[in-house]
Amino acid sequence: MLTKEQLLDTVRHLVDPEFQLSLADLQLIRDILIKEDRISATVLLSNEDESYRANIQEQITSAFQQAGASEVHLRFRSMTEYDRNEAARKLQEHTDSAVQEAAPVRNILDPESGVHFIAIASGKGGVGKSTVTVNLAVALARLGKRVGLIDADIYGFSVPDMMGIEERPELIENRIIPVERFGVKVISMGFFVEENTPVIWRGPMLGKMLRNFFQEVSWGDLDYVLLDLPPGTGDVALDVHQMIPQSKEIIVTTPHATAAFVAARAGAMAKHTNHDIIGIVENMSYYQCSACGQKDFVFGKGGGAKLAEELHTELLTQIPLGAPDNHIAEPDYSPSVYKPNTETGSLYLDLAHKLISKVE
């Protein structure tokens, strides 16, 4: 003979649209009466939509019939205010239980976590800071490191596009799972806004979003977290310096004297907040002719070395002007990631080796 518990088990897959919990767990199927193989019950509705009612009637009837019922009679009524309060209470109990059962989440901001935070900064936009961040992260992953990348340039996010990422993060048990590409776990504001939609936020909202990137994302075990900072010395850069006092910094500039002059401000901010500057990356250092190999210094010379001298640090590398020779038909296509066997890819691998030797 059928039992009430057996019948409820057959409909546990049906979820209430408002409370997002099983109808059975919310006790929205009540007054179940079983007479041999004839079933009657009352169903409480949080949604007055007629199509929803018809759909839920069909699914409950079908489930009960598959369990062995020959006749199913369902009565429907709307939830009262008391019913809604009870449903909300059950939802809270379910949420609290899930939180208690969840494994403890590693706090990557904890200095004891062993994670090395590397902020990539620049004085102004257009110097290739994001390109450097992306390729350095990929190079570290190629060397066997566990790497996370936070696109903290919340106004000018570009990392997902640069890495050829088309999917979005998943939400599992109220934790955001970062997208993994080229062995790098990536989180970006670009995942949470519509394409080409401007982000019009004030400073406190930016800081809250950045903190969520650390606290609401399930990063797992990491060796390095690279942060692609916005250019300049604004709110986000200041928030990063305050949230992660153990972070170290790489500053990106071009050889042009003005770019290096402006980048010095980012360096001064790092020093003012007691963040170590690992070194300078000079991007777009020269253009090398593919036919003859001649180097043309289209943005001048010496900016990176002068900045390193001014900030009492090291010029880590000089990256040529160019773009990866990637083809859109390739399975791992991305617009901005250099392959490891190219000249520029090798420069980024050398940069990753230098970084490892300095921080480890």
**Would 107 be classed as within a structural domain?**
no
**Residues 171 and 306 grouped into a single domain:** yes
Q: At 101, is the pLDDT very low, low, confident or very high (cuts 50, 70, 90)?
A: very low
Report the mean per-residue pLDDT for the chain: 84
Condensed to tens digits (0 to 9), the pLDDT of residues 6-42 reads 888 888 888 888 888 888 888 898 888 888 888 999 9
Q: Which pLDDT belongs to residue 193?
A: 67
Count the domains in the chain.
2
**Residues 197 and 270 grouped into a single domain:** yes
Which secondary structure element, helix H or strand E, spans residue 62, and what is its range?
helix 50-67
Of the two residues 68 and 173, the one the predictor is more confident about is 68
Condensed to tens digits (0 to 9), the pLDDT of residues 240-255 reads 767 777 889 999 999 9
**Looking at the predicted structure, is the pLDDT value of residue 225 above 90?**
yes
Q: Which pLDDT belongs to residue 195?
A: 58
**Looking at the predicted structure, is the pLDDT value of residue 132 above 90?**
yes
Among 57-61, 271-275, 319-323, the range scoring the smallest mean pLDDT is 271-275
Angle (CA) 236 233 115, round 5°? 55
* Half-sphere exposure in the Cβ direction for 126 (13 Å, CA): 8
Residue with token string 């390193």: 308
Question: Which range, 45-54, 181-190, 328-337, has the best average confidence (pLDDT)?
Answer: 181-190
Domain boundary among 101, 129, 154: 101
The stretch 128-133 carries a mean pLDDT of 94
**Residues 208 and 339 grouped into a single domain:** yes
Closest among 331, 358, 353 to 145, alpha carbons compared? 353
**Would 154 be classed as within a structural domain?**
yes
The stretch 192-219 carries a mean pLDDT of 65
Question: Which range, 101-115, 205-219, 328-342, has the best average confidence (pLDDT)?
Answer: 328-342
- Give the C-alpha separation, 320 to 348, whole Å: 11
**Would 281 be classed as within a structural domain?**
yes
Condensed to tens digits (0 to 9), the pLDDT of residues 288-303 reads 887 887 889 888 898 8
Q: Which pLDDT belongs to residue 315?
A: 95
Within 8 A by CB and 6+ apart from 216, the residues are 175, 176
**Residues 159 and 75 grouped into a single domain:** no
Separation in Å, CA 116 to CA 94, 230, 315: 36, 20, 20
Q: At 207, is the pLDDT very low, low, confident or very high (cuts 50, 70, 90)?
A: low
Q: Which pLDDT belongs to residue 328?
A: 76
Contact call for residues 64 and 7 (beta carbons, < 8 A): yes
**Would 106 be classed as within a structural domain?**
no
**Looking at the predicted structure, is the pLDDT value of residue 208 above 50?**
yes
Of the two residues 205 and 359, the one the predictor is more confident about is 359
Of the two residues 232 and 255, the one the predictor is more confident about is 255
Among 115-124, 127-136, 218-227, 323-332, the range scoring the smallest mean pLDDT is 323-332
Contact call for residues 286 and 131 (beta carbons, < 8 A): no
**Residues 66 and 145 grouped into a single domain:** no
- Give the C-alpha separation, 46 to 297, whole Å: 69
Q: Which pLDDT belongs to residue 69?
A: 87
Range of the domain at 238: 112-359
Residue with token string 């900072």: 229
Q: Which pLDDT belongs to residue 237?
A: 65
Question: Which range, 109-113, 254-258, 349-353, has the best average confidence (pLDDT)?
Answer: 349-353
Q: Which pLDDT belongs to residue 18?
A: 84
Q: Which pLDDT belongs to residue 143?
A: 93
**Residues 30 and 145 grouped into a single domain:** no
**Would 17 be classed as within a structural domain?**
yes
pTM of the shown model: 0.67
Of the two residues 270 and 311, the one the predictor is more confident about is 311
**Would 272 be classed as within a structural domain?**
yes
Q: Where are the beta strands (DSSP E) in 129-243?
A: 147-151, 170-172, 175-177, 179-181, 184-188, 224-228
**Would 233 be classed as within a structural domain?**
yes
Q: Which pLDDT belongs to residue 203?
A: 47
Q: Which pLDDT belongs to residue 282?
A: 94
In this structure, what CATH number is given to the domain that contains residue 66? 3.30.300.130
Angle between the N-to-C axes of helices 203-215 and 235-243, in degrees from 0 to 180, rounded to the nearest 10:
40
